[in-house]
């Protein structure tokens, strides 16, 4: 048996034992700790944490869930981490997230679908009771008639009678095919309970938000929540990158939010077709002055974007553990 010490974001430390050959997530579960997770197959990265002491092995996992650079920096996947000694792990969320509770599904009805860009669809789901979640979290949505589910970030604030989500249209994708070919108002869709530790921390610090494509969705929830709570004194920079200008969405909504918040938005597209603004990748919008005031940093988008932005930030002295990131992994 190896001793595992889990240190949460709020400073609470919990110790439990790992049996030989047992992954840390399972050991914690036996100790009535429900650590953040989703797939439990080493594919999503939701159970990512830092191992600051001890030795361990990692079972097979996807390099999109944990890159080589992240592993060199000391990160691990708790659903695949098999300790070879006593270990100390640091978790990027408060201890309240680990309280064992029985999950309850959320039942919703499809209210409407709107094509908001060349590659993105917005859905609105009506629920019987408002759903409580933290701005930035996600839920797994069932795909009617397909027997599978897909993860999407909430794109509007909690407590509303309807939930909004943005979906990138992927050729042959289960959700994409449903939305384009079969979806009808009134369709029943089941959601998992809200999940994830990529959520807005209410500490008053400046914000640097970097979005790739539909990675903008959780930031819309965060920004609307700040606007509704009259937190207009918090400087916010939002950088948005897409492949082509036709993929930008929510422009009018962001302009409205900029009237309430201290929000500056910058956009960049890889292609210059029908676009007179900056061209290239969103990393090219990053500048030294953006990290001079030690902002809270949130990154959301494809794995390559997360890695390139993280590398740029670390090169400028930003502690990688202060960078909160949500990788949007491709799925069919």
**Residue spans per domain, the chain:** 2-98, 106-191, 207-327
Mean of pLDDT over the chain: 92
| pLDDT-above-70 percentage for the chain | 97
Alpha carbon dihedral 155, 204, 235, 316, in 10-degree steps, equals -100
Question: Mean of the pLDDT values across residues 192-204?
Answer: 89
Angle between helices 251-258 and 217-228 (to 10 degrees): 30
> Comparing C-alpha atoms, which of 20, 53, 18, 52 is closest to residue 35?
18
Asked if the domains 2-98 and 106-191 are classified in one and the same CATH topology, the answer is no
Q: What pLDDT score was predicted for residue 331? A: 65
- Looking at the domain that runs over 2-98, which CATH code has it been given? 3.10.20.30
How far is CA 16 from its chain centroid? Answer: 28
Q: What CATH superfamily classification does 106-191 receive?
A: Translation factors (2.40.30.10)
For the cut 90, the answer to whether the pLDDT of residue 230 exceeds it is no
Largest CA distance in the chain: 62
For the cut 80, the answer to whether the pLDDT of residue 99 exceeds it is no
Contact 294, 204 (CB under 8 A): no
Q: Which fold has domain 207-327?
A: Rossmann fold (3.40.50)
Contact 160, 130 (CB under 8 A): yes
């Amino acid at each position: 048996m190896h001793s595992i010490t889990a240190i949460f974001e709020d400073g609470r430390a919990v110790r439990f034992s790992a049996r030989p050959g047992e992954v840390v997530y399972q050991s914690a579960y036996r100790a009535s700790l429900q650590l953040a997770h989703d797939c439990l197959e080493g594919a999503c990265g939701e159970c990512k944490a830092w191992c600051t002491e001890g030795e361990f092995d990692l079972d097979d996992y996807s390099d999109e869930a944990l890159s080589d650079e992240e592993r060199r920096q000391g990160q691990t996947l708790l659903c695949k981490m098999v300790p070879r000694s006593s270990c100390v792990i640091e978790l990027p969320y408060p201890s309240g997230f680990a309280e064992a509770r029985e999950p309850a599904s959320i039942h919703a009805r499809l209210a409407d679908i709107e094509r908001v860009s060349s590659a993105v669809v917005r859905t609105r789901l009506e629920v019987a009771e408002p759903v409580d979640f933290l701005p930035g979290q996600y839920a797994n949505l069932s795909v009617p008639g397909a027997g599978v589910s897909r993860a999407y970030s909430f794109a509007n604030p909690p407590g509303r009678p309807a939930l909004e989500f943005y979906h990138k249209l992927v050729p042959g994708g289960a959700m994409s095919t449903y939305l384009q070919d079969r979806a009808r108002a009134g369709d029943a869709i089941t959601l998992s309970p809200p999940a994830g530790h990529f959520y807005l921390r209410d500490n008053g610090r400046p914000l640097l938000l970097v979005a790739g494509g539909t990675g903008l969705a959780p930031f819309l929830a965060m920004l609307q929540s700040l606007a509704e709570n009259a937190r207009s004194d918090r400087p916010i920079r939002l950088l948005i990158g897409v492949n082509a200008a036709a993929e930008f969405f929510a422009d009018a909504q962001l302009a409205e939010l900029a009237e309430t918040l201290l929000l500056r938005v910058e956009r960049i597209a890889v292609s210059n077709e029908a676009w007179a603004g900056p061209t290239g990748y969103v990393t090219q919008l990053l500048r030294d002055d953006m990290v001079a005031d030690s902002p809270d940093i949130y990154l959301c988008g494809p794995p390559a974007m997360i890695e390139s932005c993280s590398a740029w930030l670390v090169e400028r002295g930003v502690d990688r553990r202060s960078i909160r990131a949500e990788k949007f992994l491709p799925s069919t």
